Chain A
C-alpha cells in the first residue's frame, strides 16, 4: 500500500487547461539575409477550443486544440545583381563629353523581386495529442558504486525520479479546413448582417444570427467529420495515422524521452544542510503515476 497519495480530478485538469489555453500567446518574427536571397517571417498565435480528457489505460488526451494564426506572414526576396547599360559618350569634345547616351540600370532595388504571403487571421491549425505519463528512475552513469547519496549530491549527480509524457498519438492539421471555412463564413455572414442590413433593429439582427449561427456550426462539424474519424481511429489503434503525424510523433517521442516534465532528487531533501550539518533526506520508493477516466493519481512510499 502506498504511503503518500495525491490525486487530481479531471475537472481540475480541465479548469487548469482552460486558463492556460486562454492566456497562452506566442509571437515571433525574424529575417535573414543570404546575399542574393533574403527571407523573413512574422507569426502571432493564440489558442482556442480543445478539451482535456483523462482516459482509462493511463492516457491523457487533448482533442482538437485550435491554433489561431493572428499573424502569419512570410516573405522571400531575391536581389539580382544590378545591370546598367549606356552612359557612354556620343559627342566627345576637347573640353569633355558634350552628349552622353542615357545610362539605364535594372535590378537596382534590394530586393528586386519580393514575394510576400500574408495569411493573417485566415489560417487555423488544429492539434490533437494523446499521451501517457511515464515514471523513470535515473542513476547517473558517472556515479560510482562506492558513492554515497551525499557524495553523489556533492558531485551534482544525485539519483532522480523523473516523470515523462510519452506521446502515443499526435494529429496535426496544419490547415484546419473546417475551422478556416467556418470562420470565413461566420465573418462574411456577420458582415452582411452588420453592413447590408444595417437598417434592421438589433433584435432582428440577433434573430437572424441565431438562425444562421447553428447552420454555420453544422457546416463546420460536417467539414471536420473526416478528421474526427481519423482521430478516433488513430486513438483506437494507438498509432498516429498519416506521414506528417507519424513523423511528428517520432519527433515528439524523441524530445519527450529527453526532457522530463518533472523530476526530483532521491533521496528527497526535507531539511537543508545548515551549519555543517548534513541535509536530512528521505528515500522515495515505488513512485507511480496513473490515469483513469476520473483522475490522475500519484503514489509513493517512504523507504525505511
Chain B
C-alpha cells in the first residue's frame, strides 16, 4: 500500500499514541489536571483520587496540585469558605472503529465512521465540616459601610477543617469529528463536538445544564486551543527553498481529509516548494 498515492505527504497518528502522550502529560504535569485549596495541597490524602506522578515530579519538588482559593459560602461576604478539590483523573481518545472504551447508549454506539470519541473522568470534592464544627463557626459580621470596605482589607475567611472530602466522580463522554476550518490559505485542523454525555447524573435538568455548560467550555475554549494550523507549517531549508504545506483537496481518491479511520487520524498534505 502506497501511503502517498494521492498526496505529496501523509501523516497519521494512532489513538494509542495520543493516549500514551496524554498519560505522560498527566503524570509529568499533574498540576494541570488537579486543583484544590492550600489544605488539600498540603494533605494530598484528602484528594478524591490519588495522583500517580512521575518520579521526577517529586524529585524536583514540583506541585501536584494547582492551589486555588477556598470556595466562599454565598451570603457570608467571604467570611466563611470551604476547601475543595477538582480532578481530571482519566482522559482517553478513541478513533473509528472504536474499541478503547464503550460509548454510553445516549451517543448511539458503536462509533460511527469518521468520528472520534473522548472519555474523561472528573472528580470533585467539598470539604464539608462536621455539625460540631459548623456550630463553632462565628456568625459572619454585617457588611461594612462602602467607604470602610475600600480602605480595610477583609479579614481572612474561616475555613473549617474537614476530616475528609465529600467526593463524587463523573464519566464524561464526547463524540465528534475533525474538520478543516477557516478560509483557504489559513485553514486549521479543528475538532468539533457532535454529542456529549455525562453518565449517571440526576435529575435530568442538572444533567442537561451540566452538559450544556461543558459543551460550551469544550467548543469555545478547549478545542480552539488545540487546533493545528496547517497553512502555517512553513519550513526553510538551507535558505534555498521554502516548503509550504497545505491540505490536499477533497476528491474521489481522498473523500475525507482529515480522515478518522483504522484507529488513526490521517492527514493528506500537498507540498509546495518555492525558492
Contact = CB atoms under 8 A, between A and B. Distances in A.
Interface of A: 1-9, 11-12, 15-16, 18-20, 22-24, 148-150, 270-271, 276-283, 294-295, 297, 301-304
A2 B15 CA distance: 11
Nearest to A16: B273
A303 B20 contact: yes
A277 B31 contact: yes
Nearest to A18: B273
12 contacts: A4-B12, A8-B9, A9-B8, A12-B4, A23-B275, A150-B56, A271-B25, A276-B60, A278-B57, A280-B25, A282-B20, A297-B3
Chain B interface mostly: mixed
B4 A294 contact: yes
B14 A7 contact: no
Nearest to B6: A9
B240 A278 contact: no
Interface in B1-19: 2-5, 7-14, 16-17
Nearest to A5: B12
B2 A19 contact: no
A143 to B, nearest CB: 16
Contacts of A270: 21, 25
A57 to B, nearest CB: 16
B28 A280 contact: yes
Contact of B240 (A3, A24, A280, A283): A24
Contacts of B274: 19
B237 A278 contact: no
Contact of B14 (A4, A15, A280): A4
B241 interface: yes
B113 interface: no
A225 B54 CA distance: 64
A11 B241 contact: no
A161 B55 CA distance: 23
Contacts of B16: 3, 302
9 closest Cβ contacts across the A-B interface? A3-B17, A9-B4, A7-B3, A12-B8, A3-B14, A302-B20, A19-B241, A7-B10, A23-B240
B24 interface: yes
Contacts of B5: 294
A270 B27 CA distance: 14
Interface residues of B, number: 39
Nearest to A6: B11
A4 B275 contact: no
B238 interface: yes
Nearest to B238: A20
B29 interface: yes
A271 B29 contact: yes
A301 B4 contact: no
Q: Taking each of A276, A281, A301, A302, which has the highest tally of chain B beta carbons within 10 Å of its own beta carbon?
A: A302
Contacts of A280: 24-25, 28-29
Most buried by A among B4, B9, B274: B4
B76 interface: no
B59 interface: yes
B168 interface: no
Contacts of B130: none
Contacts of B24: 280-283, 302
A290 to B, nearest CB: 12
Contact of B7 (A9, A19, A302): A9
B201 interface: no
A20 B56 contact: no
A103 B12 CA distance: 87
Contacts of B271: 8, 12, 15-16
B243 interface: yes
A281 B20 CA distance: 11
